[in-house]
Chain A
Amino acid sequence: MKRSSVEIITEWDIVAARQLGRNEAKKAGFGTVDQARITTAISELARNIYLYAGKGRIEIERVTDGGKDGIKVVASDEGPGIPDLRKVMEDGFSTSGGLGAGMPGVKRLMDEFKVISEPNNGTTITATKWLH
């Protein structure tokens, strides 16, 4: 399977990650709206890395599962981790307040979403979207 990645160090890298995600989504056959959704999800995850972990990476992979094609995004860092995951996944919790984005928003944009995070041991978020 093809796999490509972007290191997130500066804010510009968020843009690079978006670009990579959009290209991959297009190649995989997603329509305009889903391309925008996947890109936005990547953007939010990359921004969180940039803001809260300092640095990390976004990997994008084309996946298949029993005839289904899709795209898998892995956002990982070695930052401080997310102390209260349950809270973070609650609606209305993100620091941006009522903008409705944040992690629950990302989860809704994608079909599958998994977070592994340990205090002082970094965060790894895996999100997949399938072609319908």
Chain B
Amino acid sequence: MPQVVGKQYKEILKKYLESHSEEDLYVGQQFSRRFIEKEIAPEDVISIHKTALLELHPELQDEVWDSLDFLIEMMIHYGFTLRERQSLIRKQEIIQMEMNVATKVQNTLLKTESPIVEGLDVGWISEPARQMNGDYVHFINREHESSVAVADVMGKGIPAALCMSMIKFGMDGLVGENSNPGKALSTINRIVEKSVDDSMFISMFYGKYNSENKMFSYASAGHEPAWHFSNETGTFLELDAKGLLLGVKVDSVYEERSVYMQEGDFIVMMTDGVTETRTEEGFIEMKEIQNLLLEVKEKSASQIAEHVYNNLTEAQNHRLSDDFTIVIFKKK
């Protein structure tokens, strides 16, 4: 045991026994940080105390010394816990470092470029609740068409993220084909069915904007309905289509629908991290999200997405309870 610490402790104890003052207690408390810093176990602290007391008051009764020995014995397991905690913290630091690398890999792997197509303004945000994201947005551009897939793996964190990486390869296979939403979902569904664990559920919304006929066509694999804001009527229309979650049945069929987009119209695609935002008062109302959208309906697609994100995270005290993804397709 560091002799110096023992000596200093004795001085502080001596002062306190004479003064009984708050000031000396404060000094003692500050000094206890040294114990922790030097990783001195609780049983050693008591031993230091005993040694100091023995030098200051050797006349004390045997019961005092014996009881201190007893206390040392009692403290051994606390010492265990302390050391275990230190070792677990070190372990956690290593895991954290690995997580950082994994997140970087995921970000590189799942990187997607916003589409550029005549007359369409695109904005989107996808933020993980924890470090790794179980939501996924993927854009595909083909001449006059812009497609987007918005997916949500049930569950969060690493398992969801690993699963997402697999979807990415399914998406890559679609690039060459002239895929309509319904057909795209059945292709991805087959890949997922083959390669993903039965306990993983993935929902996906697939939308495509055609700049020639200004139609937005879509299909859904058990995903949150999207919203179509009509600038003419100032109202929201729900866009939903029949289809099972991905990976449930090999030969699932996905219904395909479409809407015409007028100037100033926009489509809102989300994951349940948005619609199931939980505030202190409970789940947020759909109406409230739509009101947020209305406040900024004249703004750009990115500004609309940001506005919703900022307000909903604020409502949750800046802590996301689920991965959060919103994509806006706005007709210029």
Q: Which residues of A contact B (CB under 8 A)?
A: 31-33, 36-37, 39-40, 91-92, 98-101, 104-105, 108-109
Contact = CB atoms under 8 A, between A and B. Distances in A.
B70 to A, nearest CB: 10
A99 to B, nearest CB: 7
Interface stretch (B83-91, B131-139, B192-200, B225-233): B83-91
B47 A108 contact: no
For chain A, what secondary structure do more than half of its interface residues adopt (helix, strand, loop), or is it mixed?
helix
13 contacts: A32-B50, A33-B44, A37-B76, A40-B76, A91-B87, A91-B91, A92-B84, A99-B80, A99-B81, A100-B84, A101-B80, A104-B84, A105-B80
Contacts of B77: 40, 99-101
B43 to A, nearest CB: 5
A100 B50 CA distance: 25
Contacts of A101: 77, 80
Residue of A36, A92, A105 with highest tally of chain B CB at under 10 A: A36
B73 interface: yes
Given A32-B47, A32-B72, A37-B43, A108 B80 contact: yes
A36 B87 contact: no
Interface bracket on B: 10 to 19
A25 to B, nearest CB: 13
A97 to B, nearest CB: 11
Contacts of A99: 77, 80-81
Chain B CB count within 10 A is highest, among A37, A99, A101, A109, for A37
Given A32-B72, A40-B73, A100-B77, 18 more contacts: A32-B47, A32-B50, A33-B47, A36-B43, A37-B43, A37-B76, A39-B73, A40-B76, A40-B77, A91-B91, A92-B88, A99-B77, A99-B80, A99-B81, A100-B80, A100-B85, A104-B84, A109-B80
Contacts of A92: 84, 88
A108 B76 contact: no
Contact of A108 (B44, B73, B83, B91): B83
A36 to B, nearest CB: 5
Contacts of A98: 81
A91 B85 CA distance: 9
Nearest to A41: B76
A90 B91 CA distance: 10
A33 B69 CA distance: 8
A91 B43 contact: no
Contacts of B72: 32-33, 36
